[in-house]
């Protein structure tokens, strides 16, 4: 059973005030599946209602640069569902992996962004 008060629309305020969001979710996630330096791939999951995982990232391999914080994923939090807290990762992509025609002269260029664990699989 979730101990979240069912009809309390202020539960998030009560939980986060004075602590911060995402800080208020610290300690709630299962151990992180990935570590800094791991190669991972962004999964191409369906997103029926809401997502913050950009289409341009999907299916692309990247490297974990930091394990940043614990939080519900946007897909759940948009509906005030905070039951599944998971780790978020900062990820570095090579621009040439994201955009096939990225100029070769600038092959070292990269892009960094964060994603929740559910969107990642080992590469």
Partner 1 sequence: MSDDHKHAPMVDEVSEFEILEIAVRELAIEKGLFTQEDHNTWTEYMHTLGPLPAARLVAKAWLDPEFKKLAVEDGVKASLEVGIDWVRTMPTRFGTPSDYCSFRVMEDTPTLKHVVVCTLCSCYPRPILGQSPEWYRTPNYRRRLVRWPRQVLSEFGLQLSEEVEVRVVDSNQKSRFVVLPVRPEGTEGWTEDQLTEIITRDCLIGVAVPKPGKTANDPRPVRKALKPYSH
Tell me whether residue 29 or residue 115 sits nearer to partner 1 (CB atom). Answer: 115
Name the residues that contact partner 1, by CB under 8 A: 13, 16-24, 52-54, 56, 68-69, 71, 74, 88, 90, 92, 95, 98-99, 103, 105-106, 108-116
Cα dist. 59→8, 12, 46, 67, 96 in Å? 39, 33, 13, 20, 14
Find the shortest distance in angstroms from Cβ 46 to partner 1.
17
DSSP bridge pairs for 67: 89
Q: How far is the CB of 13 from partner 1 (least distance, A)?
A: 7
Smaller CB distance to partner 1: residue 33 or 98?
98
Decide whether 56 or 79 has the Cβ nearer to partner 1.
56
Which bin fits 108, alpha (ψ -120 to 50), beta or left (φ > 0)?
Answer: alpha
């Amino acid at each position: 059973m979730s101990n979240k008060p069912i009809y309390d629309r202020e539960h998030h305020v009560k939980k986060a005030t004075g602590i911060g969001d995402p800080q208020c979710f610290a300690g709630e996630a299962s151990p992180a599946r990935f570590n800094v330096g791991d190669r991972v791939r962004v999964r191409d999951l369906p997103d029926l209602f809401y997502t913050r995982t950009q289409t341009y990232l999907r299916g692309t391999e990247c490297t974990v640069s930091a394990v940043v914080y614990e939080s519900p994923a946007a897909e759940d939090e948009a509906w005030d569902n905070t039951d599944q807290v998971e780790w978020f990762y900062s990820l570095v992509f090579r621009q040439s992996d994201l955009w096939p025609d990225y100029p070769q002269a600038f092959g070292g260029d990269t892009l960094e962004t964060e994603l929740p664990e559910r969107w990642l699989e080992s590469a």
